[in-house]
């Protein structure tokens, strides 16, 4: 079969769609669903710009077939804010100036989201580890780490 | 509080869009009808194109256009016009674009590319620039002598040398005679890639009137437009370049690269939007790269540590085309000596063609390469003379009144303050902490850089005052992450006495936003900032004139602050800016003046050329920015692996416009410099093929590796800088690598003179030392 | 990516049948972190991709009474790393698995995938080798293959047409033990191993050593192990053991390291491992 009908939840909404077997989850998100906040930086699972959550776990959407999303719950950067109300992680990134060109930021925030879900009070080293699969060429990571640390301190 | 926003960590203008995923980059844009482009690339580093057969590709259903160098071989280039849009007659590096296809889907385009048949006749490959300089070397550009170039680039006809820049200051032989010691060393820097996380991307469209619109991930909307116009002999106003958010540039998106491939396809398919987004491999192979460089440095010093003479030969591995890169060799040439004053200098900086990817601008524009050599050798000198590395830098540092390599007398220089502060912050005089199993070392390195650009590179700004007293700032600086939107909004707000929230900053669209040379050379805050000041003052002048009419006084009696235009003598009497935005309304309802639009243009004044034989002149660049970094490293002596532990960075940036952004920029630079130091290099095989065109084997620093960083800014105002500000965005990555190299010497008494300092090279150096 | 048929079999029997029918034309999809990259890069162009995730008996970690633990081949690495049974009994495997890729990769990449790719530098392999793990291979029949025999060369395993790696069984260690995995790579995280070394000690005096990225397959250093068996670990003994390890490896030069450097690092990591073991055996 080259085409498949799949049913999945994306950012809280249930969708049913036909996908091609050779389509990546990233293509489904960006091209079919027009959720372009998820970025493509390397297509090899090295840069992390395409990070989304699948069933609560951070994954590289360039390394997952769209058809594998059947029955899954997907969260992309667009699913974090509710209307004008930002997710606390997003708020903290803004406050700390933890962004420059911004291209890695959606993936970075999704990695942080997955981390804080599992571990609400991570150490600095745990944060560094959790985002080590998200390359940033602009910031030197420092403010990003501060921003993530600060979310956890605020919630504490 | 309105105004008073200079020096405040105002929240970035682009923050909300970027953290929510709403910010659009070129790859995120969709139009219809859309075509997808793919490029056929050369498998040979140097070959004659015997024939190209595109007939099968053209027949494939869904293919709308196929172009080759037969159709589009016009020359293009910023400083030296040596590149054709598509390869023509010859290919000169592996990955060079030979043909382009536009089709209704990426899959069809890819299929069509495979159907193009090209016959090549391989030519001798030249990969080593020193070999390429030899008289009998195969020529990569036979017509170099016919190429057009700007007056300050000096190709050597009938050779592979595309630029030879010279400095002859004082009498270098005399200087060596006056020296007690002479040091001679060689240093090497490999090719590097910029690696913006967003690859290059372009969408081009030509309508039936012939108007070309280019949506472009670029640093240079106006330069791109001009380059396309010149190459295609096409009116400038028939080309429109739009730059949405740009996912990192670092120089790689300056000038023109991918655009020159996509626009020809759009010209063959009127009405369609042709989209090309590079994959990571194309990003490595076929965008600008940082040129490799070999430096031969001969330096004479007195026993007290004063540098008397320097003879410098730099050989740049310029790659297959040096249209932009030629100017890097010039920039490094006129910065010979680096941040130190040297009386007698002789420099020869050669840009050399090789069959490698195209050398071009990279954050630092030659300074990373130059300082890798100079800053290490100065440390070697200090060690030999028994002088502290900090001290020898203080002895030789440029100060007010120093004469630099081009004969310019410097003023308002804060380098010595930077050195002292960096040393203090790293704890230079304090005992070192020790990590078990590792050896700690400390090192320091300084740097200087000026904005390398033509003497008349200009900026302009338009400021529209709206009915509610808000403003729209129109500029063509691209937001590549450096924060130009925010910094320029702060400057406008400061001048207008307006809250920064009331200023909306446009993204570049050459149709509407005014001229900006390029977003390069760390020049936007400086140059565009000055244009914004002038635009704001122009708007202010108009506001005052109108208010003066209303109050029946002279404009000089009016002032602007807190969203109001008021009588200086009696602030109770005022118009709000909103009331005057569309002109003054008289009591009878009639209008005076009309809508307020401020305009500002700026070009640095007093810049001139340098003598082609001596490199001497009065002012080579608009200004100089100095800085210093000190580092602490831990070395694992058994594996050679270095950990960068602490970095202290101090730069004299004249005036801090936004502390949070300035700090972030510096942190990013340090970490990029760390990558240069440890990992980054493009590795080529004997045929000129890049062996590591991905992040698997071209490693960037990740979050686990970044060091602890402390940052400080000295503020010695620049006379013509906005509020005294100097450019510094590139500078901050320059000294990291040599500071680490010097720390390695401090730790173990070894030197690695070729980048990167891989664990393997370090271990070899340790073993070599132990076996001596 | 090229076009292919995506198949999700209902059970292992069907999966095995599909594998047998398609031979070279089929590729197994588990975590996809290697498969999809290779398909995108056009290195692999299978006509059929068979998704084995979620098949009963292929995922998850279970205890086998009086034996040890079985890890389904399609179990993601992060699940293994965090699992109490692994943490408690086979921490060295968790260490190895944690060295692979990024967090995102480990959420998808599976143990079976890491092994079936048969990269000489697979970070889970040295740990499994020293743990005397056994691969359970399902074809028409089930067969058990010791991990030491599982790898056949770079990118090659002993899996025959129509066979699927079902699970990895690891026997409980009979006595108090300590395992260590040391990896040398260019960056501190998210990098491929230039050398990987696992060392395992069982009281009173058994020592096992395995290495990755130093030979066409991950290897056990049997000569060194035999030499070390029952000996008191002294500096002199370590030196001799390291020399024996060098005889058992055949590192190559590639973009990540030269042969000479790999040999240096092998010596360093084996030595460091043995000194740690020395402390453990001495009860320090």
**B431-470 confidence digits (pLDDT tens):** 999 999 999 999 999 999 999 999 999 999 999 999 999 9
Q: Can you tell me the mean pLDDT for B561-567?
A: 95
Q: How far is CA C84 from the centre of its chain?
A: 19
Residue of B nearest to A102 (CA): B18
User: Does C87 reside within a domain?
Assistant: yes
pLDDT of C284 reads 84
Burial of B181 (0-12, 13-18, 19+ CB in 10 A): middle
* Min Cα separation B706/chain C (Å): 10
Please give the structure tokens belonging to residue C238. Answer: 């370590």
Residue C125 lies in a domain: yes
Give the whole-angstrom CA distance, residue B658 versus residue B645.
27
Rounded alpha-carbon distances, angstroms, from residue B109 to B36, B39, B62, B116, C61: 7, 9, 8, 11, 46
Average pLDDT for residues B523-536, to the nearest whole number?
98
CATH of domain B15-22+458-602: 3.30.365.10
Residues of A in contact with B28 (CB under 8 A): 30, 36
Q: Is C112 found in the same domain as C82?
A: yes
pLDDT, mean of residues C108-124: 98
Contacts (Cβ under 8 Å, ≥6 apart) of B201: B25, B26, B27, B216, B217, B258, B275, B276, B277, B278
Predicted confidence band of residue B3 (pLDDT cuts 50, 70, 90): low
Q: With contact defined as beta carbons under 8 Å apart, do B337 and B374 qualify?
A: yes
Three-state secondary structure call for residue B149: strand
Q: Inform me whether the pLDDT recorded for B645 exceeds 60.
A: yes
Residue A154: which pLDDT band, with cuts at 50, 70 and 90? confident
* Mean pLDDT (whole number) for B136-163: 97
* Alpha-carbon gap, residue B303 to B395, rounded angstroms: 12
Q: Which residue of chain B has the CA closest to A83?
A: B20
Among the ranges given (B304-308, B497-501, C123-127), the one the predictor scored with the smallest mean pLDDT: B497-501
pLDDT at A156 exceeding the cut of 60? no
Domain-ending residue, one of C146, C171, C196 = C171
Cβ neighbours for B406, distance < 8 A, ≥ 6 positions apart: B167, B169, B334, B610, B615, B616, B617, B619, B620
Q: If you average pLDDT over residues B299-313, what whole number do you get? A: 98
pLDDT (mean) for A117-138:
97
- What integer pLDDT is reported at residue B601 of this predicted model? 98
Q: Cα angle vertex B212, ends B210, B214, to 5°? A: 170
Per-residue model confidence as pLDDT tens digits over C194-215: 999 999 999 999 999 999 999 9
Q: Which of residues 90-129 of B touch C (CB under 8 A)?
A: none
| CATH class held by domain B31-123+200-277 | alpha beta
Q: B478 to chain A: nearest residue by CA?
A: A101
Q: Which pLDDT tens digit goes with each residue over A80-108?
A: 999 999 999 999 999 999 999 999 999 99
Is residue C46 domain-shared with residue C79, that is, in the same domain? Answer: no
Query: Where exactly are the structural domains of chain B?
Result: 15-22+458-602, 31-123+200-277, 292-453+609-771
Whether residue A2 lies within 8 A of chain C, CB to CB, comes out as yes
pLDDT band at B620 (very low <50, low <70, confident <90, very high): confident
* pLDDT at B2 > cutoff 90: no
Residue entry with tokens 């118009």: B575
Q: Are residues C268 and C188 in the same domain?
A: yes
User: Is the CB of A21 less than 8 angstroms away from the CB of C32?
Assistant: no
Does one domain contain both C273 and C197?
A: yes
Q: How far apart are CA B25 and CA B139, in angstroms?
A: 40
A155 pLDDT band (50/70/90 cuts)? low
Neighbours of C262 (CB within 10 A): 24
pLDDT in tens, B678-687: 999 999 999 9
Please give the share of chain A, as a percent, with pLDDT higher than 70. Answer: 98
In angstroms, how far is CA A139 from the centroid of its own chain?
A: 18
Q: How many whole angstroms separate alpha carbon C260 and alpha carbon C104?
A: 33
> Does residue C16 share a domain with residue C33?
yes
Which domain does C44 fall in, by range?
A: 5-51
Q: Are residues C252 and C185 located together in one domain of the fold?
A: yes
Cβ–Cβ below 8 Å for C3 and A60: no
Q: Which residues contact B55 (CB under 8 A, 6 or more apart)?
A: none
C56 is a domain residue: no
Q: Which two tokens stand for residue B471?
A: 């403003």
* C10 vs C15: CA distance, rounded Å: 8
Give the SS3 label for residue A22: coil
Tokens of B255: 């000038």
Average pLDDT of chain B to the nearest whole number: 97
Q: What is the pLDDT of residues B184-207, one digit of tens each?
A: 999 999 999 999 999 999 999 999
What token pair was written down for C75?
């179990």
Residues C34 and C77 in one domain: no
Topology alike, domains B15-22+458-602 and B292-453+609-771? yes
Count up the domains in chain C and report the number.
3
Q: What is the residue-wise DSSP string for B726-742?
A: ---TTGGGTTHHHHHHH
Of C171, C190, C217, which residue sits at a domain end? C171
pLDDT of residue B608: 86
Residue B765 predicted with pLDDT over 70? yes
DSSP state of B684: B
Rounded distance between C-alpha atoms, residue B555 and residue B559, angstroms? 8
Q: Which of A135, A143, A145 is facing B664, going by the closest CB pair? A: A143
Which tokens belong to B647?
């970095």
Neighbours of chain C (3+ CB pairs under 8 A): A, B
pLDDT at B651 over 70: yes
B671/A140 touch (CB, cutoff 8 Å), yes or no: yes
Shared domain for C106 and C130, answered yes or no, is yes
Average pLDDT, chain A: 96
C253 falls within a domain: yes
Percent above pLDDT 90 for chain B: 98
Question: Residue C38's closest chain A neighbor by CA?
Answer: A44
Between CA A89 and CA A94, with CA A93 as vertex, the angle to 5 degrees is 120
Select from B666, B605, B600, B641 the least CA-distant residue to B740.
Answer: B641
What CATH number belongs to B292-453+609-771?
A: 3.30.365.10
CA B637 to chain centre: 36
Lowest mean pLDDT across B63-67, B115-119, B538-542, B615-619: B615-619
CATH (domain of C116): 3.30.465.10
Q: Is there a single domain that holds both residue C70 and residue C165?
A: yes
Look at chain A and count its residues: 156
Q: According to the model, what pLDDT value does residue B354 have?
A: 98
Interface test with B, best of A122, A137, A147 (most B CBs within 10 A): A137
pLDDT confidence band for B1 (50 / 70 / 90)? very low
Interface B:C, Cβ pairs < 8 A = 39
Q: How confident is the model at residue B174 (pLDDT cuts 50, 70, 90)?
A: very high
In terms of DSSP bridges, do strands A73-75 and A3-10 run parallel, antiparallel, or are they unpaired? parallel
Q: Do both C145 and C220 map to the same domain? A: no
Q: How far is B105 from chain C (nearest CA, A)?
A: 13
Is residue B759 within 8 angstroms of chain C, CB to CB? Answer: yes
Whether B319 and B359 have beta carbons less than 8 Å apart is answered as yes
Give the orientation angle of helix B367-385 with respect to helix B389-396, to 10 degrees.
110
* Residue C205 in domain: yes
Query: Between A4, A115, A133, which is nearest C102 by CB?
Result: A133
pLDDT digits (tens, 9 = 90+) for C145-192: 999 999 999 999 999 999 999 999 999 999 999 999 999 999 999 999
Structure tokens at B139: 């020529």
Residue of A nearest to B194 (CA): A137
- Last residue of one domain, picked from the residues C142, C171, C200: C171
Mean pLDDT for B255-282 is 97
Question: Does position B341 have pLDDT exceeding 80, yes or no?
Answer: yes
Q: Are residues C75 and C110 in the same domain?
A: yes
pLDDT score recorded for residue A1: 63
What pLDDT does residue B618 have? 80
């Amino acid at each position: 079969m080259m085409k498949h009908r799949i049913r999945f939840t994306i950012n809280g909404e249930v969708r049913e769609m036909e996908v091609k077997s050779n389509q990546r989850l990233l293509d489904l998100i960006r091209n079919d669903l027009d959720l372009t906040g998820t970025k493509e930086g390397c297509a090899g699972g090295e840069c992390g710009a395409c990070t989304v959550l699948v069933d609560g776990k951070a994954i590289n959407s360039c390394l997952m077939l769209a058809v594998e999303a059947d029955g899954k719950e997907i969260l992309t950067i667009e699913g974090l804010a509710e209307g004008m109300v930002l997710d606390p992680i997003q708020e903290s990134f803004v406050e700390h100036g933890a962004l420059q060109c911004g291209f890695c930021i959606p993936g970075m925030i999704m990695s942080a989201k997955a981390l804080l879900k599992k571990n609400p009070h991570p150490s600095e080293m745990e944060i560094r580890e959790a985002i080590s699969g998200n390359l940033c060429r602009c910031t030197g990571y420092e403010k990003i780490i501060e921003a993530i640390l600060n979310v956890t301190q605020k919630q504490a | 509080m309105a105004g008073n926003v200079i020096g405040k960590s105002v929240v970035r203008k682009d923050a909300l869009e970027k953290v929510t995923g709403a910010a659009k980059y070129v790859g995120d844009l969709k139009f219809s009808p859309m075509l997808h482009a793919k490029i056929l690339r050369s498998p040979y580093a140097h070959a004659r194109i015997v024939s190209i057969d595109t007939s099968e590709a053209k027949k494939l259903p869904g293919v709308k256009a196929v172009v080759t160098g037969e159709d589009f071989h016009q020359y293009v280039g910023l400083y030296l016009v040596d590149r054709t849009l598509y390869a023509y007659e010859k290919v000169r590096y592996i990955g060079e674009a030979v043909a382009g296809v536009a089709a209704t889907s990426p899959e069809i385009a890819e299929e069509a590319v495979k159907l193009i048949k090209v016959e090549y006749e391989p030519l001798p490959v030249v990969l080593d620039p020193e070999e390429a300089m030899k008289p009998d070397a195969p020529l990569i550009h036979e017509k170099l002598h016919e190429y057009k170039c700007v007056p300050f680039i000096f190709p050597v006809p009938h050779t592979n040398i595309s630029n030879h820049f010279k400095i002859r200051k004082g009498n270098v032989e005399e200087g060596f005679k006056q020296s007690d010691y002479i040091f001679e060393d060689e240093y090497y820097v490999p090719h590097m890639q910029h690696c913006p996380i967003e690859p290059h991307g372009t969408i081009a469209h030509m309508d039936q009137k012939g108007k070309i619109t280019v949506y472009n991930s670029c640093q240079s909307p106006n330069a791109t437009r001009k380059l396309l116009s010149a190459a295609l002999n096409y009116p400038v106003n028939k080309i429109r370049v739009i730059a949405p958010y740009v996912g990192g540039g670092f120089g790689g998106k300056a000038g023109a690269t991918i655009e020159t491939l996509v626009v020809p396809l759009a010209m063959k398919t009127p009405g369609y939007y042709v989209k090309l987004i590079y994959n990571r491999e194309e990003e490595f192979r076929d965008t600008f790269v940082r040129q490799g460089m070999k430096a031969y440095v001969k330096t004479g010093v007195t026993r007290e540590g004063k540098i008397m003479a320097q003879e410098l030969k730099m050989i740049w591995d310029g790659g297959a085309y040096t249209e932009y890169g030629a100017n890097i060799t010039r920039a490094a040439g006129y910065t010979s000596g680096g941040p130190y004053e040297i009386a007698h200098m002789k420099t020869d900086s050669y840009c050399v063609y090789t069959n490698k990817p195209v050398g071009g601008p990279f954050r630092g524009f030659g300074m990373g390469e130059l300082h890798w050599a100079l800053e290490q050798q100065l440390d070697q000198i200090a060690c030999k003379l028994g002088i502290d590395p900090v001290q020898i830098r203080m002895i030789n540092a440029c100060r007010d009144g120093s004469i630099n390599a081009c004969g310019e007398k410097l003023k308002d220089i804060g380098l010595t303050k930077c050195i002292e502060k960096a040393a203090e912050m790293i704890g230079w005089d304090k005992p070192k902490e020790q990590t078990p199993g590792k050896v700690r070392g400390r090192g320091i390195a300084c740097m200087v850089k000026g904005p390398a650009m033509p003497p008349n590179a200009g900026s302009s700004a338009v400021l529209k005052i709206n009915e509610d007293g808000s403003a729209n700032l129109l500029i063509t600086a691209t937001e590549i992450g450096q924060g130009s939107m925010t910094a320029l909004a702060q400057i406008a707000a400061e001048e207008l006495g307006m809250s920064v929230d009331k200023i909306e900053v446009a993204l570049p669209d050459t149709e509407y936003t005014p001229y900006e040379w390029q977003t390069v050379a760390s020049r936007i805050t400086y140059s565009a900032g000055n244009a914004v000041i002038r635009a704001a003052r122009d708007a202010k002048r108009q506001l005052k004139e109108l208010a003066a009419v209303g109050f029946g006084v002279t404009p000089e009696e009016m002032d602007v602050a807190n969203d109001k235009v008021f009588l200086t003598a009696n602030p109770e009497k005022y118009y709000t800016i909103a009331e005057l935005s569309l002109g003054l309304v008289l009591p009878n309802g009639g209008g005076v003046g009309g809508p307020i639009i401020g305009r500002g243009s700026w070009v640095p004044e007093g810049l001139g050329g340098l003598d082609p034989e001596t490199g001497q002149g009065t002012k080579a660049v608009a200004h100089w920015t100095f800085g210093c970094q000190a580092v602490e490293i831990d070395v694992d002596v058994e594996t050679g692996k270095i950990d960068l532990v602490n970095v202290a960075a101090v730069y004299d940036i004249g005036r801090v416009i936004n502390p949070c952004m300035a700090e972030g920029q510096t942190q990013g630079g340090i970490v990029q410099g760390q990558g240069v130091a440890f990992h980054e290099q493009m590795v080529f095989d004997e045929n000129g093929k890049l062996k590591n065109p991905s992040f698997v084997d071209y490693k960037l620093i990740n979050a686990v590796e970044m060091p602890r960083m402390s940052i400080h800014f000295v503020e010695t105002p620049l006379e013509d800088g906005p509020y005294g500000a100097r450019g510094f965005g590139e500078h901050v990555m320059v000294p990291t690598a040599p500071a680490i190299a010097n720390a390695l010497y401090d730790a173990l008494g070894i030197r690695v003179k070729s980048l990167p300092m891989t664990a393997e090279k370090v271990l070899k150096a340790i073993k070599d030392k132990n076996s001596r | 990516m090229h076009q292919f048929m995506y198949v999700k079999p209902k059970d292992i029997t069907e999966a095995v049948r599909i594998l047998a029918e398609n031979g070279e034309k089929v590729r197994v999809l588990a975590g996809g972190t290697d498969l999809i990259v290779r398909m995108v890069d056009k290195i692999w162009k299978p006509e059929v991709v068979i998704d084995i995730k979620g098949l009963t008996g292929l995922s998850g970690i279970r205890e086998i009474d009086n034996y040890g633990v079985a890890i389904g081949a399609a179990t993601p690495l992060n699940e293994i790393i965090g699992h109490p049974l692994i943490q408690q009994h086979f921490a060295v495997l968790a260490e190895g698995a944690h060295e692979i890729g990024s967090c995102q990769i480990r959420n998808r990449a599976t143990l079976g995938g890491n092994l079936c790719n048969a990269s000489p530098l697979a970070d889970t392999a040295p740990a499994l080798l020293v743990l005397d793990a056994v691969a359970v291979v399902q074809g028409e029949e089930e067969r058990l293959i010791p991990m030491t025999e599982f790898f056949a060369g770079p990118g090659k395993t002993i899996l025959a047409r129509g066979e699927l790696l079902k699970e990895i069984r690891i026997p409980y260690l009979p006595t108090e033990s300590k395992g260590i995995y040391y990896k040398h790579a260019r960056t501190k995280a998210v990098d491929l191993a230039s050398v990987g070394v696992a060392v395992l000690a069982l009281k009173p005096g058994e020592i096992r050593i395995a290495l990755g990225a130093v030979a066409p397959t991950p290897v056990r250093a049997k000569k060194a192990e035999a030499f070390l068996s029952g000996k008191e670990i002294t500096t002199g003994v370590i030196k001799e053991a390291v020399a024996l390890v060098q005889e058992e490896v055949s590192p190559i030069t590639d973009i990540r390291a030269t042969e000479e450097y790999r040999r240096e690092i092998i010596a360093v990591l084996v030595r460091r491992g043995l000194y740690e073991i020395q402390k453990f055996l001495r009860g320090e």
